[in-house]
Amino acid sequence: MIGLTNVEKYYGDYHALRGITANIPEGEFFSLLGPSGCGKTTLLRAIAGFEHLSGGSLTIDGQDMSRIAPHRRPTNMVFQSYAIFPHLSVAENVGFGLRKRKDINRDARQRMVDEALDMVGLSGYGSRRAHALSGGQRQRVALARALILKPKVLLLDEPLSALDKKMREQMQAELRRLQRQIGITFVLVTHDQEEALIMSDRIAVMFDGQIAQMDAPQTLYRRPSTRRVAEFIGVMNFLPAARVGDEMFDVAGLGKAFIDRSQVMNGAGTDCVAGLRPETLSILFDGSDVPDHSFEGTITDRAYYGDMTYYDVVITPGTAPVTISMKNRAGRPILEPNTKATVAWDPRSLIIFGA
């Protein structure tokens, strides 16, 4: 569907995109995730045609896009600022792209606009002025305006970043539903890892103009390929480790364990780093059996989140604490700092990175 091969982009001396290669199949919800300045928006705008490539190739549906102007591409975009035309009504905004289509008469256009507004839950808003709308409503107008043209690809540039938390969560679900319903390719740019995980079929994590890892959300979370990706997505504890046998690793404070090859990332030599997600560690409360893999530590700090409690536990005095998240179940106490705790861990959820 979308084929990117060795895509390069320079702004003067600044190398914004470095050898991006990716294939995005039809009907996929694909996200470009990364910190600001990583090139994700540039890549999206290149697909839309607003940025010319300095090198490499871009195809959509097998057709080379290099000589195709943005207004002729089978893509439509939802802009970060929504870019609602302030001097036009909602219906005029939504019907904007249809005016150029000679094959659609007034009545058909009106019907399509109504349908599009209905699809995004804005029936009856057609005559309103754009600036009389709330952020969430503008977002929906922008969506309807893009989708009414039946693009092969919908490009979304940080579409939810201006919304408050509740609204954002609602729109995430709705976007996902819409995408399944119409079945076209969505390419989403976001810096919010949670948003990317929730919505995407596949995520490309970008740093410094390059794709660091491109995988499904679960793989990305459970098997981040580098320490930087792991740090960017969710929280991870890093402990110094050493390879002591073929599949045997000695992790500081945790002891020795067999680690499956699939958990050992490229570049891990003799000295390496072990990564553990907070939820893969658990504090053993009084009365539980002590499993094979566990360690003793002292709670130094705790943060209560309502549904969860995060504990900082120091294993060896003088070293950095590890973070542990525990669900607040009935009958489970909230432990105070300076309490001793026994923590269970599982070698199957541990990842080994290069040092």
Partner 1 sequence: MKGGWLRIYAIVYLIFLYLPVALLPIFAFNDGTIIAFPLQGFTAKWFLELAAIQALHSALWNSLFIALVTATLSTLLAIGAARASTRYKFPGKAPIMGAIMLPLVLPEIIVAVALLVVLLQLGIGLTSWTVIAGHTLICTPFAIAILSSSFQGLDASVEEAAIDLGETRWGAFRTITLPLVAPGIISAFLIAFTISLDEFIIAFFLTGAEPTLPVYLWSQLRFPTRIPAVMALGTLLLLASLIILSIAEYARRRGIARTGGKDSGGFL
Partner 2 sequence: MAAFDATARRGLLLVSPTFVYVLLLLAAPLATVFAFSFWTQDFLSIDYTVTLKNYQEAFSDPIYRTLLGRSLLIAGAVTTVTVILAFPIAYFVSFHVAPERKALWIFLITIPFWTSYLLRVFLWKVILGFNGVLNSSLIGVGLIDEPITLILYNANAVVITLAHAFAPFTILPIYVALERVDRSLLEAAQDLGETRVSTFFRVTLPLAMPGVIAAVLIVFIPTIGDYVTPRLVGGPDGLMIANMIQTQFLKLNNAPMGATLAVLSMCAVTLVSLVFLMLNRRYLKTS
Distance of CA 308 to the CA centre of its chain: 22
Query: Which residue of 30, 34, 47, 51 would you call a contact of partner 2, by CB under 8 A?
Result: 51
Residue 112 CA to residue 302 CA, distance in Å, equals 55
Q: Is 258 in the site for partner 2 (CB under 8 A)?
A: no
DSSP H helices, 95-199, are: 106-119, 135-147, 165-182, 193-199
Contact 97/91 with Cβ under 8 angstroms? Answer: no
Of 159, 169, 164, 163, nearest to 189 by C-alpha is 159
Q: Which is nearer to partner 1, 70 or 234 (CB)?
A: 70
| Cα dihedral sign, 328-331-337-341 | negative
Q: Is 12 in the site for partner 2 (CB under 8 A)?
A: yes
Among the residue ranges 75-83, 162-170, 249-257, 314-322, the one whose residues contact partner 1 (CB under 8 A) = 75-83
**Interacting partner of 51 out of partner 1, partner 2, none (Cβ under 5 to 8 A depending on kind):** partner 2
Q: Which is nearer to partner 1, 87 or 329 (CB)?
A: 87
Q: What six digits make up the tokens of 300?
A: 């130094």
Q: Is 52 in the site for partner 2 (CB under 8 A)?
A: yes
Q: What six digits make up the tokens of 128?
A: 């309103």
Q: Which residues pair with 272 in a beta bridge?
A: 241, 354
Among the residue ranges 71-79, 106-114, 166-174, 240-248, the one whose residues contact partner 1 (CB under 8 A) = 71-79
Query: Which residue of 5, 18, 22, 54 would you call a contact of partner 2, by CB under 8 A?
Result: 54
What proportions of the chain, in percent to the nearest 5, are helix, strand and coil? Answer: 25, 35, 40
For 42, the 3-state DSSP assignment is helix
Residue 70 CA to residue 67 CA, distance in Å, equals 10
Query: Which residue of 104, 149, 315, 335 would you call a contact of partner 1, by CB under 8 A?
Result: 149
CA distance readout (Å), 141 to 36, 83, 180: 26, 10, 19
**Interacting partner of 52 out of partner 1, partner 2, none (Cβ under 5 to 8 A depending on kind):** partner 2
Least separation in angstroms between CB 212 and partner 2: 25
Q: Is 135 in the site for partner 1 (CB under 8 A)?
A: no
Among the residue ranges 36-44, 78-86, 303-311, 333-341, the one whose residues contact partner 1 (CB under 8 A) = 78-86
Q: Which is nearer to partner 1, 159 or 278 (CB)?
A: 159
For 196, the 3-state DSSP assignment is helix
Q: Is 97 in the site for partner 1 (CB under 8 A)?
A: yes
Binding site for partner 2 (CB under 8 A): 9-12, 51-52, 54
Binding site for partner 1 (CB under 8 A): 48, 50, 69-72, 75-77, 79-81, 83-87, 96-97, 100-101, 129-132, 142, 145-146, 149
